Amino acid sequence: MKIIADENMPNAKALFSHLGDVELVNGRTLTHEQVKDADVLLVRSVTKVTKLLLEGSSVRFVGSATIGVDHVDLECLAELDVAFSSAPGCNAEAVADYVFSSLSHLYMTKKVSWLNKKIGIIGYGNVGKTVYDRFANIGCQVCVYDPIKEKSRDFANFVTLDEILSCDVISLHAPLTHSGLYATSGMIGREELARLSAGVVVISAGRGGVIDERALLERHAQLDGNIHLVLDVWDNEPSINQELVAIADIATPHIAGYSKQGREKGTWMVYQALCHYLRLNLGVVNERDAISAGWISSINANAEALKEEMLARSVQAIYDVARDDARLRYKYRENKEKNVFDWLRKHYVERDELNTCLIRSHDNDASEMMGAIGFSVQINHN
């Protein structure tokens, strides 16, 4: 069996080699010629899986080690009778870590406070719910807009999009969709942006294309720059708008989900799906071996510090998003790589998730908050 896999898929050779010959390729530039005699195609979000790529090939199974599936033409796969599987939720914890690291950065560098503010989330899927639960468990006033999930029985504080737009922090976690009643392409346009108040924090870590970037630049100018932008996803990646980079508080190259565990889990989930498709017993490699435990470190929570500062400094000890923002700005300035955006992603130094770090504390309140924000917690009774 011939398996073509994106070279940025961690552990692909280690996991899939017992199933067939694994060839690693650049997913962004993949052609029909390269896949035509493959049986299995394993991709990440940079590969457009279309009729053009697959028609006339021997590919029978496509796996995407990602949460988002907007790069895959699912109708075409069904038409060609090609099985498909993605990795729902694989990096939801990583994206939530990104959100809280960004808020930590804004607090520590500009004293932008979020703890007692109104938080609005767009999209209540695996990522949105993880982010929502963290805010809710910390004790924040949090609401969510998800007109599709609202109809299910999930309990959450569902509100209108208008109400979300009046919040102090808005975090976007909807997929990119172009059709249907609730299509998200351009859903945060000029009209919606006009409703944002000065001082708002907007975090975009879902997909580029959900916010209208031109309108965002205009609104930023209208508010005299008094809007905090945290941008991980962009229109037209990998050629991103440098005007927008310049005004963003945090600009990163679509790495919100790039924790070591999140990326490995993506590969592992696709591996499981392929084994299932091939009707193979999954015993050959177990999950414990496929996903790193992380370097379990521990932090003593300092309950004396201000709560928001304690949270911020602890989060930053494990993942400080400023490192990714600085790297992006430096690399674009230096501009020696042909494709800075993809280079940064390919050479990303993964980080561990907050949950790989154990918080030790005598203080119950501090422990509870640290647990709520994503750490593992051990309460010290002596």
Ligand X SMILES: NC(=O)c1ccc[n+]([C@@H]2O[C@H](COP(=O)([O-])OP(=O)(O)OC[C@H]3O[C@@H](n4cnc5c(N)ncnc54)[C@H](O)[C@@H]3O)[C@@H](O)[C@H]2O)c1
Positions marked catalytic: 207, 237, 254
8 binds, among ligand DEZ, ligand X, none (CB under 5 to 8 A by kind): ligand DEZ
10 binds, among ligand X, ligand DEZ, none (CB under 5 to 8 A by kind): none
173 binds, among ligand DEZ, ligand X, none (CB under 5 to 8 A by kind): ligand X
CA distance 94 to 351: 9
CA distance 367 to 364: 5
Instruction: Give me the least distance between CB of 181 and ligand DEZ, in Å please.
Output: 23
Residue nearest to ligand X (CB): 125
Is 185 annotated to bind ligand? no
96 binds, among ligand X, ligand DEZ, none (CB under 5 to 8 A by kind): none
Q: Which amino acid makes up residue 4?
A: I
Instruction: Give me the least distance between CB of 90 and ligand X, in Å please.
Output: 8
DSSP 8-state secondary structure symbol assigned to residue 285: S
Which lies closer to ligand DEZ via its Cβ, residue 219 or residue 260?
260
Binding residues vs ligand X (CB under 6 A): 67-68, 88-89, 91-92, 95, 122-128, 145-149, 173-175, 182, 184, 187, 205-207, 232-233, 254, 256-257
CA distance 8 to 18: 19
Instruction: Give me the least distance between CB of 195 and ligand X, in Å please.
Output: 15
145 binds, among ligand DEZ, ligand X, none (CB under 5 to 8 A by kind): ligand X
Which of these, 207, 206, 245, 201, lies nearest to 223 by C-alpha position?
Answer: 201
Is 66 annotated to bind ligand? yes
Is 146 annotated to bind ligand? yes
Instruction: Please name the residues in contact with 13: beta carbons below 8 A apart, sequence gap of 6 or more.
Output: 5, 22, 24
Instruction: Give me the least distance between CB of 341 and ligand X, in Å please.
Output: 13
Residue nearest to ligand DEZ (CB): 44
204 burial type by CB count under 10 A (0-12 exposed, 13-18 middle, 19+ buried): buried
Instruction: Please name the residues in contact with 286: beta carbons below 8 A apart, sequence gap of 6 or more.
Output: none
Instruction: Give me the least distance between CB of 37 and ligand X, in Å please.
Output: 31
Is 324 annotated to bind ligand? no
Which lies closer to ligand DEZ via its Cβ, residue 39 or residue 237?
237
Q: How many CA atoms lie within 13 A of 123 on its CB side?
A: 26
Q: Give me the phi and psi of 263, to 5 degrees please.
A: -70, -40
CA distance 74 to 270: 16
Binding residues vs ligand DEZ (CB under 6 A): 8, 44-46, 66-68, 91, 254, 257-258
Q: Do 171 and 135 form a contact (C-beta atoms < 8 A)?
A: no
Instruction: Give me the least distance between CB of 344 and ligand X, in Å please.
Output: 13
Which lies closer to ligand DEZ via its Cβ, residue 46 or residue 96?
46
Which lies closer to ligand X via its Cβ, residue 262 or residue 371?
262
Q: Give me the phi and psi of 18, to 5 degrees please.
A: -75, -10
Q: Give me the phi and psi of 138, to 5 degrees please.
A: -75, -25
CA distance 233 to 254: 5
Residue owning tokens 């940064």:
344
46 binds, among ligand DEZ, ligand X, none (CB under 5 to 8 A by kind): ligand DEZ
CA distance 195 to 73: 34
Q: Do 22 and 7 form a contact (C-beta atoms < 8 A)?
A: no
Which lies closer to ligand DEZ via its Cβ, residue 91 or residue 184?
91
Is 68 annotated to bind ligand? no
Please enumerate, by residue number, every residue annotated as part of a binding site for substrate. Answer: 45, 66, 258
Please enumerate, by residue number, every residue annotated as part of a binding site. Answer: 45, 66, 146, 232, 257-258
Please enumerate, by residue number, every residue annotated as part of a binding site for NAD(+). Answer: 146, 232, 257
